[in-house]
């Protein structure tokens, strides 16, 4: 049985005091009895402060990106070891904003996936199509290319450590959410791709999150789909009430 994973991507939002306050509110309200796993991914500069707040709780800390090199002359970059040092367990890789605004490619994301795995960090690997790609009937081809490129040379044992986030780009931050049919269809395709590349056992274990304008009012329906194992949440993760409303809407797993 795959346990639902709800992860909050705070992106480039909040100041230090707000980040601490949000993490404190989540810590106060989220009980370890909850039926879901919870992770939050603050900006790099607040990881340390948020890590201190989350210490001793079951809420996992994640980062929004990392660089693939171990250390050295890479001005502005953050290594996986640094994230581990901050108490991170997860790292979002290949988010569409990094792919489309910052020009990140599948080969670069693949290097990051390997670097994260080597350090024991669990990648949340994002894939998803642009609106014009969906309208041209290319959704399956696009996510297949992203999966194959980003997961090159990943072993079956490593694959079990990875979370996939299907995030249609046209649904991110737009208020437009994929229909249940659209989400389930791509999630099922992704699981079949994992099965074809690895085996049914691995495909049965990998969690596939949906991301794109998830909020408390639509989370229940999305999270009850057979191949949707959680949500990667942007805007609605910035308010404890909304984020916890998504957690509350998740069916028991």
Nearer to ligand PEP, 5 or 203 (CB): 5
Nearer to ligand PEP, 42 or 211 (CB): 211
Nearer to ligand PEP, 83 or 172 (CB): 172
Residue among 168, 154, 162 nearest 234 (CA): 168
Catalytic residue of the set 104, 129, 133, 167 = 167
**H helices present in 119-215, as ranges:** 131-135, 139-150, 156-159, 180-197, 200-205
Least Å from the CB of residue 99 to ligand PEP: 12
Rounded CA-CA distance 115/153 in Å is 12
Pairing of strands 60-63, 208-211: unpaired
| Contacts with ligand PEP, 185-224, as mask; x by CB under 6 A | --------------------------xxxx----------
Q: Does 167 help bind ligand PEP (rule: CB under 6 A)?
A: yes
Residue among 144, 68, 71 nearest 109 (CA): 68
Segment (H or E) for 37: strand 37-41
Least Å from the CB of residue 219 to ligand PEP: 11
Question: In this structure, what are the phi and psi dihedrals at residue 47, rounded to the nearest 5 degrees?
Answer: -60, -45
Which part of the chain contacts ligand PEP (CB under 6 A), choosing from 14-22, 61-69, 218-226, 234-242? 234-242
Catalytic residue of the set 90, 95, 114, 187 = 95
6, 62, 111 from 86: Cα distances, Å:
20, 9, 21
Give the interface size with ligand PEP as a residue count (CB under 6 A).
13
Q: Is 90 a catalytic residue?
A: no
Nearer to ligand PEP, 92 or 115 (CB): 92
Q: Is 95 a catalytic residue?
A: yes
10, 82, 91, 172, 246 from 232: Cα distances, Å:
10, 23, 12, 10, 11
Q: Does 47 help bind ligand PEP (rule: CB under 6 A)?
A: no
Q: What is the DSSP letter of 3?
A: P
Instruction: List the one residue from 83, 183, 233, 247 that touches ligand PEP (CB under 6 A).
Output: 233
Residues that bind ligand PEP in the complex, under the rule CB under 6 A: 9, 167, 172-173, 211-214, 232-236
Catalytic residues: 95, 167
């Amino acid at each position: 049985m795959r346990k639902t994973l709800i992860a909050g991507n705070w992106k480039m939002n909040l100041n230090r005091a707000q980040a601490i306050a949000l993490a404190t509110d989540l810590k106060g309200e989220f009980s370890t009895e909850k039926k879901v796993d919870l992770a939050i991914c603050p900006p790099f500069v607040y990881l340390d402060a948020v890590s201190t707040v989350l210490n001793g709780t079951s809420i996992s800390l994640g980062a929004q990106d990392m660089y693939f090199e171990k250390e050295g002359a890479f001005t502005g970059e953050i290594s996986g070891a640094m994230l581990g040092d901050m108490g991170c367990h997860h790292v979002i890789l290949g988010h569409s904003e990094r792919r489309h605004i910052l020009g990140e490619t599948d080969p670069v994301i693949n290097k990051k996936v390997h670097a994260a795995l080597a350090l024991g960090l669990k990648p949340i690997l994002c894939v998803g199509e642009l609106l014009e790609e969906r309208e041209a009937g290319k959704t399956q081809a696009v996510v297949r290319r992203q999966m194959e490129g980003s997961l090159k040379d990943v072993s079956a044992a490593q694959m079990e450590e990875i979370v996939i986030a299907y995030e249609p780009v046209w649904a991110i931050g737009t208020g437009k959410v994929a229909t249940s049919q659209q989400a389930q269809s791509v999630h099922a395709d992704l699981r079949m791709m994992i099965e074809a590349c690895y085996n049914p056992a691995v495909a049965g274990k990998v969690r596939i999150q949906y991301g794109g304008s998830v909020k408390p009012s639509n989370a229940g329906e999305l999270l009850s789909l057979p191949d949707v194992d959680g949500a990667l949440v942007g805007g609605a993760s910035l308010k404890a009430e909304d984020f916890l409303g998504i957690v509350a809407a998740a069916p028991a797993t």
